[in-house]
Every structure is written in structure tokens, then in C-alpha cells.
Amino acid sequence: MFDVETASEALDRLIERRAGERSAANAAADEWRTSERRHAARVREEHREAWVEYFARLASSLRKSADMYDKRAESLRDRKEAT
């Protein structure tokens, strides 16, 4: 036969154990979410820096091209004036 007191104590222990397990699982999930957020922020920053570098190189290249075309245009103007 089951004793009500013994069954109640067993249920209390089970409930406490499960609550502890759930609490530990929640803590682990919170740590994982925090870690994911930090990782995502780091990746976003790396991507932002890569885009900044890309556009800086692009701007430099376009400035060089613009200078070259300005020199060509000036050369053509000088030829016309020489004739």
C-alpha cells in the first residue's frame, strides 16, 4: 500500500527536481541567446567594416578614373587650341 505522506513527499521531490532542471535549462537558453546576440553584433560590425573598406576603395578608384578623364579632356582641348 502507498502511504499518502510518502507519495506526497515523492511528488514534492519530483516537482523540485523538475523545477531545478527547468531553471537550469532556462539559464542555459538565456546564455545561448546572449551569446548569439554578441555573435550577430560582431558579424554585423565585421560586415559594416568590410563595406566601408569596399566603398573607400571604390571612391579612390573612381577619383583616379575621373582624374584620368579630366587629363584626356584637357589634352583634347589643348589639341584643338593648337590647330
pLDDT digits (tens, 9 = 90+) for 6-25: 888 888 888 888 888 888 88
d(CA 25, CA 36) in angstroms, rounded, equals 16
Verdict on whether the full-model pTM lies above 0.75: no
d(CA 46, CA 41) in angstroms, rounded, equals 9
pLDDT of 1 reads 58
pLDDT digits (tens, 9 = 90+) for 38-59: 999 999 999 999 999 999 999 9
Question: What's the average model confidence in pLDDT over 70-80?
Answer: 91
Burial of residue 31 (CB within 10 Å: 0-12, 13-18, 19+) is exposed
